[in-house]
Amino acid sequence: MDPKTLRMFALASQLGFSLAAPLVFFIGGGILLDRKVGTTPLFLLVGVILGMIGAGYGLWDVVKRFPTEQIRRRPPSKRPE
């Protein structure tokens, strides 16, 4: 398989994991805390908010490290006139 294709697969899986992991962790923690304490939607809603913040930060961190300089250095394509 082409190294460029493997790199794109790695980037896609990293994006998916950085979005899903905080959401699952914080929402699951909110559900468990709600069951333990007896407050029905309180910690679930806090978990949703914290999960969205964590997923946004994870997405920002992955996109920030994306190598955009490789795209900018490509010479412009010359079209025959």
**Cα dihedral 68/71/73/75 (nearest 10):** -170
Please check the confidence at residue 71 and state whether its pLDDT lies above 60.
Answer: no
Least confident of 7-11, 16-20, 37-41, 45-49: 7-11
pLDDT value at residue 4: 82
- The sign of the dihedral angle between the CA atoms of 17, 18, 19, 20 is positive
Each residue of 31-64: pLDDT tens digit?
Answer: 999 999 998 899 999 999 999 999 999 999 888 8
- Give the whole-angstrom CA distance, residue 40 versus residue 57: 27
Rounded to a whole number, what is the largest CA-CA distance in the chain? Answer: 73
What pLDDT score does 6 carry? 86
The share of the chain scoring above pLDDT 90, in percent, equals 46
